[in-house]
Structure 1
Amino acid sequence: MRRATGLEDGALHIHVGMAIWVAGVAIAGDVGALWPLAVAALAELLNEALDRWREGSWRMADTTMDVVNSLLWPLLLFGLARAGVI
């Protein structure tokens, strides 16, 4: 995917995870809505399942970093919204 976007894998996960979450938040109209976070998490889990199928085995270090990169900022912003900070 790097050739198509020019982004490293980690950066691509950050951008796509945020894009999915932000789109959901825009539809929901609420940063603290749970379902946009759930959709971003589901998309990431599906991506990791496809990676596992393509690779033939789990690569836990890669999978862990992909999940962290995809969900860190959406989780942080969701948590801050639920805490009333934003």
Structure 2
Amino acid sequence: MYLKSYSKIILPQLRISAVVLPSVLLKTFQEYKRWNDLNTSILSQGALEIYIKSGMFNSHVKKLRKVYYERMSYLDKLKKRE
């Protein structure tokens, strides 16, 4: 089983994630997910759609990549000093 959250990348309020499950758990998970989705805010879903379609998400991802690249480069420099 593998679970991955994208909430910090996109919108923390939405709890967006990905899951990889063994086939034996798939049907139970899908049923639970179907019922859980009925309580998801339509306003939040609409905001996410606008965020993605407007290009703001892609811009944010580029910014995050730059930030994490800079952090990793700094750590690499520190490591080489030792």
TM-score by length of structure 1 reads 0.35
Q: Which has the higher helix share?
A: 1
Q: Please identify which structure carries the higher strand content.
A: 2
- Please identify the structure whose Cα radius of gyration is greater: 2
Normalised TM-score (structure 2): 0.36
